[in-house]
Structure 1
Amino acid sequence: MNLSGHNLALLASLNTLLEECNVTRAAEKLNISQPALSAQLARLRDLFEDQLLIPAQSGRGMVRTPLGSHLREPLRRALQTLEEVVAQQPEFDPARAHRTFTLGANDNAAAIIAPRLIKLTRDAGWHHIRFAFIAPQTNRLQSQLETGEIDIALTSRDAVPGAQQLPLVDEAFQLAQRKGHPRGNEPLTLESYASLEHILVSGQGGGFRGFIDDLLADQGLARRVGVSVQFYSLVPLILQNSDLVCTLPARFLSRYHEVLDSFPLPFDVRHFSLYATWHRRFDDDAAHRWLRAQLQASVAA
């Protein structure tokens, strides 16, 4: 018998028919009409090339053929097993699981999340949980999330159309400069900010204009971006050895407070935000839910 198409549903009907030996009672139990069930029985007889059930000589109900009797118990057990498989929700126990989670993140997002996430899981004794942080490929990120190549990407808001998102970080940008910078430690003005030579972190690499340049242009000002880098980790090294400045997230700068000074910006600007981004097909996956909870806990710590 070919189990493709609608035949699995037919087997469920056959199971009830073999139990009840009565089309009327079986139809009531299955919540379908008697003619519909009779049509299914006819289809089953064709598939099995056997009558399966025949009218009883007493005129009341039906009796099973030898094949029908042979099928009754194995079919019941098989359908029960199938029901258990479908009903069972897989659990995730981080204390026993051997699992590698892959997170797509640039170096700044990874630096914010990774240390706390790893400390959190290791302090809990979850030593068989592994994390791989990889640079996401912007043009492939949607498919990487859909296939599970990347479990969660750490991105800005709405970076992946149609993806699920969970906010993790929302904080202000600040201007950073080396300690002992000739500008001094005076509060910034729009004019003094624009007069400085800046470093720009360009996610795609090679860019010399960002959203702050658009904001300054609205004020009739322009800044000079002298250096463009693709990686946040390069910025503190350049700042420490030059008079350039850079606008960066406050949480990133907090790691370099011993060698860099930071100042509030002299204009209103949107905050730096970081979101956990994933494909909706993993919404109810137990392991994925656990990972999302750990990401939330790691930024709250």
Structure 2
Amino acid sequence: MTKRLSDFDIGLLLTLDALLKHQNVTHAAARLNITQSALSARLTRLRQLLNDPLFTTAASGRGMIPTPHALALEPELTRLLERLSDFVNTAHLFDPATSKRVYRIAATDNPAAILAPDLIPRFKSQAPNAKVAFTVPDKPRIVEHLEQGDIDLFIGAAEDGSSGLIGQKLFEEEFVTAQRHGHPRGKGSITLDEFCALDHLLISTSGGHFAGMIDDALAEISRSRNVTVSIQSYALAPLVLENSDLICTLPRRFLRRFAQVLDLFEAPLQRPRPHMAAQTGDTERSQRSRGVVAEHHAIVPATTCRAIRASEAGSRQPCRQPDRTACRAANSVRRHRRPRSPRPSAST
């Protein structure tokens, strides 16, 4: 009996509850804030543990029909989740004003440059005794580092994370082209021919590359540009642009902070808008964490169980301070996924 009970976790119970309420994989996955593939994996696990199909596809092809066994479980499942919710609500509440923890955020250069100026003042106002550390993410090991408590939050392109993580979309990237004030080409809108003829600055996050996403978009319309300078840091880009006749195409959220020295123009080509996401581990350590969450370009206090946990000071051991409560116990399922293979670093 003990072994069978240990095979269950809260995430499986929440999955069964969501499927019973919505009888639709898409809607249930949206309610749990997970992908449909992750929900299907949980359903497969439930079927194995309960030795019952639980749901069958509706004759119309839309939605799912619960089996008699699934319907018989529903009343007790509801009572169980209510009791669990009552238990979680009695847990010690985290108070950021008294926290002395160190929060550790792994963020790629672009979102770090966009979010840090807004995050740090808000963070200090809400948690004056706490510390925050931005680190460079080791993308192939993001899941491992989150599960082990080495980092608390990963912020970057959504595809660099994992479907097994709890994630929240922060913002879409809109790319614009920048040049220095007083650029010889003038202040008019930039044409595609001008864009291709001018010298460009490129940010290569992996270092040393002279082609990136913009070049891919140009190649699709049989055009190319002249990239003459490649740098690895977003922070260096405004300085280079201010002191040269180069142009550069980067996210608007980043460039607009330098409007006092740069002119911004709509880029003369269409390209998809990638979005940045915040992702945290779906593990027991993460369940006990509280802190702040990122939302769009501002940072707001955590009022739900989607909190983050962090520390980057000295020791690599997970934080064990008493403010790491079980606030997210009712929202999660333990998942231990192997990290994905490395992806090429993005360039723009």
> Shorter chain as normaliser: what TM range?
0.5 to 0.7
Shift of 1:272: 4.8
Q: Is the 1:104–1:135 Cα contact (8 Å) retained in structure 2?
A: yes
CA distance in 1, matches of 2:229, 2:119: 32
Q: Is 1:116 the equivalent of 2:118?
A: yes
Which position in structure 1 is the counterpart of 2:200?
198
Note the C-alpha offset of 1:107. 3.3
8 Å CA contact 1:120–1:298 kept in 2: the answer is no
Inter-partner Cα distance in structure 1 for 2:129 and 2:251:
32
User: What's 1:139 paired with?
Assistant: 140
**Cα distance in 2 for residues equivalent to 1:229 and 1:146:** 33
In the alignment, which residue of structure 2 is the partner of 1:296? 295
Q: What is the Cα deviation at residue 161 of structure 1?
A: 2.5
C-alpha distance 147-284 of structure 1, shift in aligned 2 (>3 A): closer
Instruction: Tell me, in whole angstroms, the C-alpha distance in 1 between the residues paired with 2:205 and 2:142.
Output: 14
Q: 1:144 is matched by which residue type in structure 2?
A: H
Cα deviation, residue 284, structure 1: 6.6
What is the aligned partner in structure 2 of residue 15 from structure 1? Answer: none
Are residue 210 (structure 1) and residue 212 (structure 2) matched? yes
Cα distance in 2 between the residues matched to 1:128 and 1:160: 30
5+ residue gaps, structure 2:
7-83, 301-348
Q: Distance in 2 between matches of 1:297 and 1:171?
A: 11
Which residue of structure 2 aligns with residue 66 of structure 1?
A: none
Q: Distance in 2 between matches of 1:196 and 1:269?
A: 20
Structure 2 residue 174 is the aligned partner of structure 1 residue 175? no
Unaligned segments of structure 1, at least 5 residues: 10-82
Q: Tell me the distance in 1 between the aligned counterparts of 2:138 and 2:170.
A: 21
Equivalent positions of 1:36-185 (< 5 A) are: 89-124=91-126, 126-162=127-163, 163-185=165-187
Q: What is the DSSP-based 3-state SS (H/G/I as helix, E as strand, rest coil) of the residue aligned with 1:271?
A: coil
Residue 213 (structure 1) shift: 0.8
Equivalents in 1 of 2:232, 2:92: separation in Å? Answer: 41
Separation (CA, whole Å) in 2 of partners of 1:229 and 1:160: 24
> Matches of 1:282 and 1:264 in 2, distance apart?
45
| SS across alignment from 1:183 | coil
Q: In the aligned structure 1, how far is the partner of 2:123 from the partner of 2:241? A: 34
| 1:61-91 superposed Cα distances (whole Å, 9 cap, x missing partner) | xxxxxxxxxxxxxxxxxxxxxx9xx876453
CA distance 1:226–1:174, change in 2 (3 Å): same
Shift >3 Å, 4+ stretches: 86-90
| Partner AA of 1:168 in structure 2 | L
- Cα distance per residue 1:256-283 (max 9 Å; x no partner): 1111111001121222522112222269
Normalised to the residue count of structure 1, the TM-score between the two structures is: 0.65
Q: Distance in 1 between matches of 2:143 and 2:181?
A: 42
Distance 1:146 1:207, change over 3 A: farther
Does structure 1 retain, via aligned residues, the 8 Å contact 2:176–2:266?
yes
Q: Per chain length, whose mean CA-contact separation is higher, i.e. which structure has more relative contact order (CA < 8 Å, sep 6+)?
A: 2
Paired with 1:298 and 1:184, the residues of 2 have a C-alpha distance of 31
Once the 2 structures are TM-superposed, how far is the Cα of residue 175 of structure 1 from its aligned partner?
Answer: 0.2
Aligned residues: 217
CA apart distance, 1:190: 1.6
3-state SS of the aligned residue for 2:256? helix
Distance 2:296 2:237 in 1: 28
CA gap 1:169/1:283 in 2 versus in 1, 3 angstroms: farther
Higher helix share: 1
8 Å CA contact retained: 1:102, 1:152? yes
Give 1:265's aligned residue.
267
Matches of 1:111 and 1:282, distance apart in 2: 30
Q: Counterparts of 1:106 and 1:284 in 2: how far apart (Å)? A: 21
| Distance of 1:297 and 1:182 partners within structure 2 | 36
Letter in 2 for 1:120: R
Cα distance in 1 between the residues matched to 2:235 and 2:177: 16
Seq. identity, %: 36
